[in-house]
Amino acid sequence: MGKLYALTSDEVTALEKENQELVRSLAGECMVVLENDGTLPLKKEERTVALYGSGARHTVKGGTGSGDVNSREVINIYEGLKAEGFDVVSEDWLDEYDKILSDAESKYMDDVNKKAQEKHVPPIMIMFSTPFVSPDENLITDVKDTDVAIYVISRNSGEGADRFNVKKDYELDDAEIANIKFLAENYKKTIVLLNTGAVIDTKPLRNTEGINAVMIVGQMGNIGGNIVADVLTGKSVPSGKLTDTWAENYSDYPSSETFSHNNGNVDDEYYTEGIYVGYRYFDTFGIKPAYSFGYGKGYTEFAYEVKDVTADEKKVNVSVEVTNTGSEYAGREVIQVYVTAPEGAIEKPFKELRGFAKTSLLEPGQKETVTVSFDTVSMASYDITRAAYVLEKGEYIVRAGNSSDNVTAAAVLSLDNDVVTVQCKNLFGLDEAVDEIHAPKREKEDASGLKHIELSSALFVTEKIEYQENRPVLEDKRSGEKLTMDDVHEGRATLEELVAQLSLEEMAQLCVGLYDKSASNVVGSASGSVVGAAGETVGIPDRKIIPTINADGPAGLRLQPHFKVAKDGKILPGGEVFGMSVNPFPEDTPEDAIDYYQYCTAIPIASTLAQSWDMDLIEKMGHLVGKEMQQFHIHLWLAPGMNIHRNPLCGRNFEYYSEDPLVSGSCAAADTKGVQSFEGQGTTIKHFAANSQEDNRMYNNAHVSERTMREIYLRGFEIAVKTSQPLSVMTSYNLINGIHSANNKDLLQGALRDEWGFKGFVMTDWFSSQDARSIGLAPENVKYDCASSPACIEAGNDVQMPGCKQNVDDIISGVNEGRISLGDVQFCAGNILGVVAQCK
């Protein structure tokens, strides 16, 4: 065992306090006020409340799976209100629900452990596929002596299983509806808080008279209760906006009929909605949602006025004056700029978000002018017939507002001829036909009264992509020396010279994670250096090549919070935590064992952070994580997750930012900048790509058209790579048009490296190139095979995690049998060492 960086004291550290104070000072901005008749914030005299709902004492801090964070404590909403001086007069109801929930959890864990024993797999594998469902609430039958009732709706979801359009999940159940109705009928002020990580059905709330305020508090991490109390009292000002469209009906989402298990087919997913995801669909097809993308109220009102629009072949700039027109409360507003592109040979959505900016905190009557700027070429669409991004000639209408359905046309940009902005090649051919939907023809808009700006096609320059043709074999020209990474650091050798000296066996080991032959390498057990870290790459001591240690995210670092070490330095069993599953320390644990502690901060989940629309805030959260990475010696954070919210039922939507690629890419870039402000720490953006479902996630084939891939499912990754250059990318489990992401050279070399200029290394998700059925991660009968280990190398998927001996053997035999080249292995080894060189 190497050096341990965990702490030997369980006292709260200064860094823990500092990080929690930072989260508390910022996270209130992420909450979205859906409805408010002036009830919020609560007045100083309104400190006696009747508090109900499953989330009152059992507030969900974040989703389940590898994205869970093992923090020291979790402050629920009940505790947060009590700490703020509230008198909660519904203790009897809360105590009764505690007992109902405790019994249900005990039964669930008994069932999990029984199934795990029967299948000979760790309990967490059963928990992945069979998530816990909260029991029915006890009905509220008496009215307390207060005017204010607060009801907390909680929903949880996680890795390995998609949600369902049923009661207790997407829909409210009968008990919840009855309890909310009772409160609305019997209290002067009824407030509903949504402690959710993704969209739920809000019809029962909108159809119930007497509800005075509805707010999405999201899942705020381990001090969520304190943050909610701050917002309810006005100490913190909510200024969040939706990053998803909340539909009137689940069936309004274009993928609703066929998503995941909805049609009984979890092997093949056909993206028939094409580019029409989220507001692109609702706006284009004229379907009115319950709450539109970008919507959010806050505690005050704003007015905005477009002051100027300028544009040329490089940038479009939209200046908007924002005024807080309220009389009592400060607030922040988000200005969103959308563009309606001309209808030409390329079909287009009605409008698309092209930029956004958030004001500072404005006091009543205060004004501020914000300028939203974006690249002119970002308005281009992908034309599969030309294999290029194209700005079609015609009128581009620029619109500014504060949500997708509240915008004002501000200017018209007129382009005289088509412009090819980027000349590519088509990379994502379909393996089966996909019958995509098509937009209705729209009437030409009268833009005669708007400012007109002429754009000349002659001034644009076409970017021409050069694609890698082959990977030459590096020859060892310094065979008389034994080069090490120290030689590279000190300038005595190049990275290529070091790689050229490595044997095939050394490189094969490098390209596979550090596996333990005696361990199952399940989530949180595949690192030999940091207990509870997800895994690490292989080090080669005599070459001074260190391993990189990787920890799960994205709502903080996921490590084992408490472990014990024997006097001889051996890490002892016990202390592993996975949600409700806690492995106790055995009775025969030596009394003189040394206790170690690794408490990490659980920050708000990605979908909640994104609702801030504040990239500085998200960068600060990344910086917070980077500090803890330094403390516990983590090199790579397996985060941020940035897949598109294609459908509300994806089990991991809480880990991802938005239905919109610009929002997703901007958030991931900000998060990465924060983490990578520390030398030697990096992010791993994931899951690359088109990872939209959790059911049968390892063997699901996503059938997606070229244009849809590029404009929706890859665009966010492109933004993150070009803006922040993360150290690593994690491929997704799924196949894309018949090819596993981890085996897809066009994806990993053609798009990621050749088109976008990615410089780091690519790793698989865990067990992508192993038969996951043997450890309970996949059903027995699957239509498609797992990813191929040699094909990972050929594709440029540099590291296979967590790794096994068979992966190493397959790489070596792949070269020896001519299925992959030595140059392929050297290329991957070089990518890995390029990142290792930046780590300490």
* Residue 385 in tokens: 């017939």
Q: So what's the pLDDT on residue 772?
A: 78
Name the CATH topology of 503-558+603-836.
Answer: TIM Barrel (3.20.20)
Residue type, 436: E
Q: Take residue 448 and report the two structure tokens written for it.
A: 């005669």
- φ/ψ of 444, rounded to 5, equals -65, 135
Residue with tokens 């069993």: 573
Q: What is the pLDDT of residues 592-640, one digit of tens each?
A: 999 999 999 999 999 999 999 999 999 999 999 999 999 999 999 999 9
Structure tokens at 603: 């920050």
28-32, 132-136, 521-525: the lowest-pLDDT one: 521-525
What's the topology of domain 299-464? Immunoglobulin-like (2.60.40)
Beta bridge partners of 411: 398, 451
- Among residues 230, 552, 765, 810, the one annotated as catalytic is 765
Strands 761-763 and 728-731: parallel
pLDDT in tens, 340-373: 999 999 999 999 999 999 999 999 999 999 999 9
**Span 219-244, pLDDT tens digits:** 999 999 999 999 999 999 999 999 99
Percent of the chain with pLDDT over 70: 98
Q: Which residues pair with 189 in a beta bridge?
A: 148
Q: Is the pLDDT of residue 127 over 90?
A: no
Contact status, residue 132 vs residue 580, Cβ threshold 8 Å: yes
- Outline which parts of the chain fall under CATH 3.20.20.300: 503-558+603-836
Q: Say which residue the tokens 């992401």 belong to.
A: 741
How large is the average pLDDT for residues 261-277? 98
Mean pLDDT of the chain: 96
* C-alpha dist (Å) from residue 656 to 124, 193, 526: 22, 21, 24
- Angle subtended at Cα 47 by Cα 41 and Cα 50, rounded to the nearest 5 degrees: 100
Question: Are the CB atoms for 609 and 621 separated by under 8 Å?
Answer: yes
Q: Where do you find CATH 3.40.50.1700 in the chain?
A: 28-238
Q: Which of 579, 488, 617, 602 is nearest to 540 (CA)?
A: 488
Q: How many CB atoms lie within 10 A of CB 41?
A: 21
CB neighbours of 1 closer than 8 A, spacing ≥ 6? 528, 565, 569, 570, 571
Q: Is the pLDDT of residue 526 over 70?
A: no
Measured distance CA(221)–CA(61) in Å, rounded: 4
Tell me the residue type at 128. Answer: F
Say what the pLDDT of residue 527 is: 64
CA–CA gap between residue 648 and residue 254 (Å, rounded): 11
What pLDDT score was predicted for residue 402? 98
d(CA 585, CA 606): 33
Confidence at 519, pLDDT banded by 50, 70, 90: very low
pLDDT for 748 beyond 60: yes
Tens-digit pLDDT profile for residues 700-716: 999 999 999 999 999 99
Is the backbone peptide bond immediately before 604 cis, with ω within 30 degrees of 0? no
C-alpha 379/C-alpha 377 separation (Å) is 5
Identity of the amino acid at 579: G
Predicted confidence at residue 697, as pLDDT, reads 95
pLDDT at 1 over 80: no
Dihedral pair phi/psi, residue 817, rounded to 5°: -95, 0
Is 147 assigned a catalytic role?
no
Please, where are the H alpha helices in 286-382? none
Q: Which two tokens stand for residue 754?
A: 């050749």
What is the helix (H) or strand (E) element at residue 319, kind and residue range?
A: strand 315-324
Q: What is the pLDDT of residues 648-680, one digit of tens each?
A: 999 999 999 999 999 999 999 999 999 999 999
Residue 551 CA to residue 557 CA, distance in Å, equals 6
Q: pLDDT digits over 304-335, tens only?
A: 999 999 999 999 999 999 999 999 999 999 99
Task: Place 517 in a pLDDT band, splitting at 50, 70 and 90.
Answer: low
Distance CA 236, CA 214 (A): 17
pLDDT at 525 over 80: no
**Residues 625 and 600: beta-carbon distance below 8 Å:** no
The pLDDT value recorded for residue 520 is: 47
Q: Quick one: average pLDDT of 741-760?
A: 99
Answer for the pair 314, 376: CB distance below 8 angstroms, yes or no. yes
The CATH 2.60.40.10 domain(s) of the chain lie at 299-464
Structure tokens at 408: 């004002």
Task: Please count the residues of the chain.
Answer: 840
The answer to whether the predicted template modeling score (pTM) of the entire model surpasses 0.85 is: yes
Q: Which fold has domain 28-238?
A: Rossmann fold (3.40.50)
Q: How far is the C-alpha of 448 from the C-alpha of 443, rounded, in Å?
A: 15
| β-bridge partners, 563 | 596
